[in-house]
Chain A
Amino acid sequence: MTATTVARGRSVRSRRPARAGGLTLASGLGLGVAMLWFSLLVLLPLAAVVATATEGGWDAFWRAVSSEQTAAAIRLTVGTAVLVTAVNVVMGTLIAWVLVRDDFVGKRALEVLIDIPFALPTIVAGLVLLSLYGPGSPLGVDVANTRGAVFLAFLFVTLPFVVRTVQPVLAELDREVEEAAASLGAGRFTIFRRITLPALAPAIAAGAALSFARAVSEYGSLVLLSGNLPLETEVTSVRILSSIENDNLAGAAAVATVLLAISLAVIVAIDVLQRRVTRRG
């Protein structure tokens, strides 16, 4: 009762209907149930990972993370993810550009292709890549059990992220500014660099963050493709799984905490970037 009165009073003062009201009894109850479920399913289990990782103190944590095999896995994962993200920034922006600004027969088919890596089960994705880039490849390219396989798998699963974050921003972009620049004599490249790119930058960065996070956490597509050779093609997720299978939950939790820290950093980065995007718009 008081909440609605306060909300109504505020909306009258600002002469605009309030976008969001305070909690009523029913919505408060709903929030409680939702939070309970979310905590039991997501927050508590993730907290358990961090708690288990820090149980043995800083030394045990550091020993688990910095062992030769684990450190090599983390280096490979993060390094390849950076490389793949760089490729996605270029190719993703290019694909978004073609999908928004160009018009040709078969564009709808390309749209569907972009989303396939997101919907395809990761184990199937590994099998899919293996059939073209594995032993007996029709192209004569065999990257199975090499670091090239890790790169390829990351590239496949992260394809949609930059495209899908840049596409709507590019579609909303006001073309009159570009036309004005063109009428003032700016070349196509200058227009892209000085006008289009700055407007797209936050979206590209958000897409890059998502694609980096996805690559770092990838597991399924690598199982059949990379061979999981220690020190060579073993990524962080595989390392965690082998710790779990060896009943070393504390060691697994320590490495998992490193991945969680990366995921959290990415979430924060995207949140900051999205606020910048909305402020612009």
Chain B
Amino acid sequence: MAEAATVARRPRRRGRARRAPSRYVLRAIVAAYLLLLVAWPVSLVAKNAFADGLTDLRAILEDPDVMHALGLTVRVAVVAVVVNTVFGVGMSILLVRYEFPGKRLLSALVDLPLSVSPIVVGLALVLVYGGRDGWFGPALEDAGFQVIFATPGIVLATVFVALPLVIREVVPVLEEVGVEQEQAAHSLGAGALATFRRITLPTIRWAVVYGVVLSLARSLGEFGAVKVVSGNVLGQTRTATLVVEEKYLNFDKGGAYATAFLLALVSVACITVVSIIRPRTSEETTP
């Protein structure tokens, strides 16, 4: 039935396209806009990174400080993604499946980290966890736990900025599938954990993967918040994005472009993976 409708509509659509040259004008405007704003500039980074062949790339890969920064960035991103996935899936289930006072406020507040400036995020964390005069900082420091200007601060900042990404993917899917299957499983005697593992998790699987990939890209690339909380100590708390800035400002443009190329490569790979996953999920959910 649905197939017949698309078959019937297709020749009509093609007929209209032939009659409307404006369609080609719009197509050309969009293509030109995206070429000038995104495609061309991004491709230039690859070109600049390989301006001297593989020299720049090899130089940064052999620089122990850069390698330390890349390692730190990956470690922080992995921790942040794990934390945000657990929190995000749990929070999504709470927001969709349960009723409690203040739910609407919480659901709006959860989105807040996406629209807060990374510099404000850094400042906020310093004001609470700063070792000198933060709210909790001095007490934590007395207990031998330094947050700001150390790795825990970088992790907190990264978790903060990527917080809503998993939730934003999972909530719509949970809302759409409804509770019938879960209730059926429950009535057949499945416990809460079994219902989650056998029913809920498979349905939100792709949304979680999508959210994880987006969170990973966001976490690897965080710059402003990390810059405020990390202290940017060479070989200790300097992350990959801070290396890009540092190298560029110190006139090592080759090194800056090579590091930027590595970061861009990962984020473009993330986006491509997501765009391959995306249509499959829509096919799965549309009956």
Contact = CB atoms under 8 A, between A and B. Distances in A.
A233 B253 CA distance: 23
16 contacts: A45-B160, A48-B135, A116-B42, A118-B217, A119-B218, A119-B221, A119-B270, A120-B263, A124-B244, A124-B264, A127-B248, A128-B264, A131-B41, A132-B41, A213-B114, A253-B123
A119 B217 contact: yes
A124 B241 contact: yes
A256 B33 contact: no
How large, as a class, is the contact surface on chain A? 35 or more
A111 interface: yes
A34 B89 CA distance: 11
B100 A31 contact: yes
B38 interface: yes
Contacts of B122: 244
A17 B179 contact: yes
Given A124-B45, A127-B244, A267 B119 contact: no
Nearest to B193: A26
Interface stretch (B20-28, B54-62, B64-72): B20-28
Interface stretch (A59-67, A91-99, A194-202): A91-99
Interface of A: 17-24, 26-27, 30-31, 34-35, 37-38, 41-46, 48-49, 52, 91, 94-95, 97-99, 102, 104, 106, 108, 110-124, 127-129, 131-133, 138, 155-156, 159, 188, 210, 213-214, 216-220, 223-224, 236-238, 240-241, 244, 249, 252-253, 256, 259-260, 263-264, 266-268, 270-271
A17 B108 contact: no
B180 interface: yes
Given A123-B244, A159-B37, A20 B224 contact: no
Contact of A115 (B119, B127, B271): B271
A216 B117 contact: yes
A263 B214 CA distance: 22
B87 A95 contact: no
Contact of B34 (A20, A95, A108): A95
Contacts of B117: 216-219, 236-237, 240, 256, 259, 263
A223 to B, nearest CB: 6
A15 B225 CA distance: 50
Nearest to B159: A41
Interface string B56-96: 00000000000000000000000000000001001101101
Contacts of A214: 114-115
Contacts of A263: 112, 115-117
A271 B217 CA distance: 26
B29 A30 contact: no
B167 to A, nearest CB: 11
Interface string B155-198: 01001100100000000000000111001000000001000000
